[in-house]
Structure 1
Amino acid sequence: MSRDGFKVKIDKNNIIHNFNYIKDSTKKEIISVVKANAYGHGLKEVVPILVEGGCKYFAVARKSEALELLSLNLPDIKILIFETIEDFSLLKTHNNLEMCINSLSEFKELIQKDINFSQLHLKFDFGFARNGFTKEELNEIKNIIVTNNIYFKGAMTHFFSSNPEEVISIQKDFISWINFLGKERFEIIHSQNSAATILGLGEGSTHVRCGISLLGMLDPGIENENIKRSWTLSGPIYNIKDFSDLDFIGYTRKNDLDTKSYNRVGKIKIGYGDGFAKNNTNLLCHINDKEFPIVHISMDTSFVLIDDSIELGDSVEIYRNFEKCNSFLNMDHYEYTTLLNSRIPRIINEE
Structure 2
Amino acid sequence: MNIFISEKNFIHNINLLKLKYNKDIIPVIKANAYGHDIKIISKLLLKYKINICAVARIFEALEILKHINYDKNFKILIFESIESNYLKEIINNSQLLISANSLEDLSLYLKSGISSNQIQLKIDFGFGRNGIFYKNIDVLRNLIIKSNLKFSGIFTHLFSVEYEDGIKIINNFTEIVKELGKDNFQMIHLQNSLGITRYGSIPISTHLRPGMFVFGFYEEGAFENNLQKVFSLKGKIINIRDISSLKYLTYNLKKNLPMTLSKVAIIKIGYGDGFLKINEGSFALINNRQFKIISVMMDTTLIEVDDSVCINDSVQLYYDFSSTRNYLKMNMCEVLSILSNKIPRILI
Tell me the TM-score normalized by structure 2. Answer: 0.94
> What is the CA-CA distance between 1:111 and the residue it aligns to?
2.8
Q: Contact 1:167–1:201 (CA<8 Å) still a contact in 2?
A: no
Decide whether aligned partners of structure 1 residues 248 and 201 sit closer, same or farther in structure 2, where only a CA change above 3 A counts. farther
Secondary structure at 1:33 match in 2:
coil
1:286–1:316 contact (8 Å) kept in structure 2: yes
TM-score (norm 1): 0.93
Aligned partner of 2:54 in structure 1 is 59
| Residue deviations 1:17-45 (CA, integer Å, cap 9, x gap) | 11111111122221111111110011111
Q: Which residue of 2 aligns with 1:285?
A: 284
Question: Which piece of structure 1 moves more, 81-90 or 199-208?
Answer: 199-208
Asked if the contact 2:237–2:311 (Cα under 8 Å) also holds between the matched residues in 1, the reply is yes
Q: For residues 270-322 of structure 1, give each alpha carbon's deviation from its aligned partner in whole angstroms, at most 9, with x where no partner exists.
A: 00111111121211111112211112111111111111111111111111111
Q: Write the mapping of 1:146-161 to structure 2, written as runs, cut at 5 A.
A: 146-161=145-160
RMSD of Structure 2 on Structure 1 (CA) = 1.6
CA contact (8 A) 1:20 1:53 kept: no
SS in 1 for 2:16: helix
Distance 2:227 2:238 in 1: 34
Count of residues in Structure 1 that have an aligned counterpart in Structure 2: 343
| Aligned residue type for 2:77 | L
Structure 1 gap ranges (5+): 1-5
The correspondence of residues 269-348 of structure 1 with structure 2, limited to 5 A, is 269-348=268-347
Counterpart-to-counterpart distance in 1, 2:220 and 2:7: 24
2:3 equivalent to 1:8: yes
Structure 2 distance, partners of 1:137, 1:163, is 25
1:22 counterpart = 2:26: no
- How many angstroms does 1:331 deviate by? 1.0
- Which residue is 2:144 aligned to? 145
In structure 1, C-alpha distance between the alignment counterparts of 2:166 and 2:347, rounded to whole Å: 36
SS at match of 1:70: helix
The answer for the alignment partner of 1:3 in structure 2 is none
Greater relative contact order structure (CA < 8 Å, 6+ sep): 1
Aligned to 2:79: 82
Instruction: Give, as a single letter, the amino acid of the residue that structure 2 aligns with 1:84.
Output: S
Distance 2:247 2:7 in 1: 45
5+ residue gaps, structure 2: none
Q: Is the 8 A contact 1:234 1:317 kept in 2?
A: yes
Pairwise CA distance, 1:164: 4.6
Alpha-carbon contact 2:57-2:78 (below 8 Å) kept:
yes
2:107 is the counterpart of 1:108: yes
Pairing 1:70–2:69 present = no
Which residue of structure 2 aligns with residue 265 of structure 1?
A: 264
Residue identity (%): 38
